[in-house]
Amino acid sequence: MGKIIENTIPDEVITKLNQVNSLVVFTGAGISSSAGIPTLTGPRCSPIWEYNFINDLLSAEKIPGKHILHLRLLDNLLEKVKTAPPTLAHLSLAKIANKFTNFHIVSQNFDDLHQRANSNGCLMLHGEITKTRCLNCNLLEIIETNYKMHWQTKCRCGGAWRPDLLLFDEAMSEKLWQQAENLAQSCEMLVAIGSSGQVLPGGLLPAIARRRGAFLVEINLIPTEITPHFHFTILGSSDEVVPKMF
Ligand SMILES: [Zn+2]
């Protein structure tokens, strides 16, 4: 069990950040909640997720999205994402990439706030709600309007669209998970921000990094199920803690 500290960056963490060459930042919905994007769990959990039918709606069975509530939910979330600005935490992370020889962001979020903050090459474990993928040829397109309108069109191959999201009843592709696992296994330090650790398999990454000897720091509003894996847990809003830390 590591140390749990409120809203302060311990000297040990600053020292480590100056020593390591490879850093993985693992982000969950908590980093985007101050921008108004709902989280599945935790203190800022949005009522949008309280509907009993949410799991059913965001399931692969509903593809290609003929279900009107399915479309409404996707468009509701897409609208929230499109109007959300990158947070101070997202912006801070985009500025520090050059400080490390190897710097990677692995995210479980469905928004594009890391990308809009100018972080490049993020590994998006759950896909992005702003993109739609052809069921036939896998072509990705950015949704300029909304799902309802975009899905009235077909891909140029004639295929129908699906969201570029990992849905509740789908497994992550082996290739993607392998990439994430490799990053966790090879990093010297991992910082988890705003992740409850409850959504698998991403929630396993801190434990994987710890087993390989990485130094682990967690930033969250409250302790989580995965807190015991971290050397330090810093309690506080990511918008306050992340800019202070980097
Ligand atoms: Zn196609």
**51 pLDDT exceeds 50?**
no
* pLDDT tens sequence across 184-225: 999 999 999 999 998 889 999 999 999 999 999 999 999 999
Q: What percent of the chain has pLDDT over 90?
A: 72
Name the β-bridge partners of 83.
none
219 CA → ligand 1 middle, Å: 40
143 CA → ligand 1 middle, Å: 15
Least confident range from 28-42, 127-141, 189-203, 206-220: namely 28-42
Would you please indicate which residues are annotated as catalytic (active-site) residues?
A: 126
The type of residue at 229 is H
162 CA → ligand 1 middle, Å: 11
The type of residue at 80 is K
Neighbours of ion ligand 1 (CB under 5 A): 134, 136-137, 139, 155, 157, 159
Model pTM greater than 0.85?
yes
154 CA → ligand 1 middle, Å: 8
67 CA → ligand 1 middle, Å: 21
DSSP characters for 72-87? HHHHHHHHHHHHPPPP
**50 pLDDT exceeds 50?**
no
Q: What homologous superfamily is domain 3-245 in, according to CATH?
A: TPP-binding domain (3.40.50.1220)
162 C-beta neighbours (distance < 10 Å), count: 18
